[in-house]
Amino acid sequence: MSPSLKLFIALIVNSALLIGVLDVIFNVERNGCEMTYMYENPEYIKVPLSSKMVSKFPKYNLYVYGEGFYAESLRSFNLHGIPVLFIPGNSGSHKQVRSLASVAFRKSENLPFLFNYFSVDLNEEFSALNGGTLQDQTEFVGFCVKKILRLYKKARNPPTTVVVIGHSMGGLVARALFTLPDFDSSSIHTIITLATPHQSPVIVLDNYLSRFYEKVNGFWIDNSHTSLANITILSTGGGERDYQVPVWATSLDNIVLNGLGISTTTTSIPNAWVSTDHLCAVWCRQIVLIINRALFDMVDRNTKQITNDVDFRLKVFNTYVHNHPGKIGPMRSWKKTVNVEANAPWILKEDTSLRYSEEKVTKLKYVVIPVVTKDLDQFIAVSNVHSDSWICGCNIPEGKQRCDTCTNLADKGHALPPRNSNKKYVLYEVSELAEYSHIVLFIVPNLPPCLPVLFDGCCLCCYCERQDRNDDAGSVMSLKFSWTNLSTYKFIRKNEAGNITLKLLVPIPDYIHQPDASLHLFLNPDCNYGLKIDWALKETLGQVSGIFFLVLLESRAS
């Protein structure tokens, strides 16, 4: 091969690699996160530590977060709330706790319990680059967990556990606590990690980091069935915007026992649907709200502490980050059986496809659809009715015109973008509804409803447009992958064109023999649509560049 040809090929390869790198860095969705604001000046009150710990870790400190009068009440350290400990990550500050803590404080107003957010100051060390600091951080945080629990000796409902939230390498430190020889594993049963590289270091610059990962991950793999079986852990990745920690690295697969660990990305989380960069993960309001809502839902109303029921904690996390049904109130208040009001209008519709809307609803109504199993495959209903109970199934007794009670089906719903539109849908195989004679859809007062579409063999969805909320008018695209819980949602406003890019943020595992991706379209039936599939050259080069650097890092690590 001639030198000129070699030079030409090298130029082409390097140019393609450069285009791919630029695509990875710059071709990401805009930052859709909202800011989280404090209503009063944040205060970080230093928790006094023993002289022994101060001498051993002179660079580290422990703080409790407060605002206004609440901050003043904390200075006596006579605490009565639910302890949460925030662990910052690589070069992170203890002050990054303020978004989570401030939202939790405001949410606890008028409630019989509150959350006390603590934060450790780890001297903003570069723990992702210098593995030697991680063991010191772990030992200090382990001591802080014990110290925090001792602050509640006089509490009316003293806690026995601390909720831990770790950002970036702070999430790895949270898991490393259980490797300490004298650590009480029962003192933590709920862990939330934000943009934490669980699988392996993003970049390996020393052997200490590699050995630390091997020790922590090996311990979790070996003890998931025993001492760690009561731990519930949620890991979130930031999606495309986080180019420091890729989504695949935040996965808990093959580390945490299936059924105890949940991995997701912020683009998949219902009512968030945003990609977060690495630092944005700690202040993105959509994510902060969802984390706090999940924690509030986990509180046992008797003990005023996070429940010890591991199944319920897992159910709450799954609901908020995977299968949110569009519920307004807390999950524990869900009604399985709904009473049908005898005086409310009973509107029977026998069409297999319909759209129902009203500009103004002044009283409760029921739209009722007979269940027809012959020649029909699926049933789908889309609604923006502002109610937790909006769809149910029942059997009308012989000789009667209507049901007295019905079984709530709304818990099988899924929320749809845009956020705060209250749109949700249910999708059933018709065979799943065979036990019911009719499906009942609720039309509640004051909000215009929208109801179902039923098709032979496929589904098409509609929804109603609020007269004062034109930004809710549009369509939704959802891209899902069979080998992961991750999905991408794109909301397209009315009369606008949209696109969604098929990017593999998580590689296909070796044990998946038939991987597939599915595209779900939720369309406005009043509009015409065209679907166009193109090969995205820049995005392809970006994926190739990502794989190239991943292989390079793995070869360096080995």
Instruction: Give me the active site residues, please.
Output: 168
The full DSSP string for 123-151 is TT--TTT-THHHHHHHHHHHHHHHHHHHT
Alpha carbon distance 67, 292 (integer Å): 17
Query: Which residues, listed in sequence order, are joined to residue 477 by a DSSP beta bridge?
Result: 490, 521
Residues 6+ apart with CB under 8 A from 60: 120, 121, 122, 123, 136, 137, 140
Give the E-state strand segments of 238-364 in sequence order.
261-265, 299-300, 305-306, 337-339, 346-348
Q: Can you state the percent helix, strand and coil of the chain, rounding each to 5?
A: 30, 20, 50
The full DSSP string for 179-203 is GSTT--GGG--EEEEES---SS-SS
Q: Do residues 68 and 147 make contact, with C-beta atoms less than 8 angstroms apart? A: no
Direct distance between the N- and C-terminal alpha carbons of the chain, in angstroms, rounded to an integer: 33
Alpha carbon distance 80, 116 (integer Å): 8
Q: Which two tokens stand for residue 548?
A: 């190239």
Burial class from Cβ neighbours inside 10 Å (0-12, 13-18, 19+) for residue 182 reads exposed
Pairing of strands 414-415, 405-408: unpaired
Would you call 505 helix, strand, or coil by DSSP?
coil
Burial class from Cβ neighbours inside 10 Å (0-12, 13-18, 19+) for residue 5 reads exposed
Q: Do residues 475 and 498 make contact, with C-beta atoms less than 8 angstroms apart? A: yes
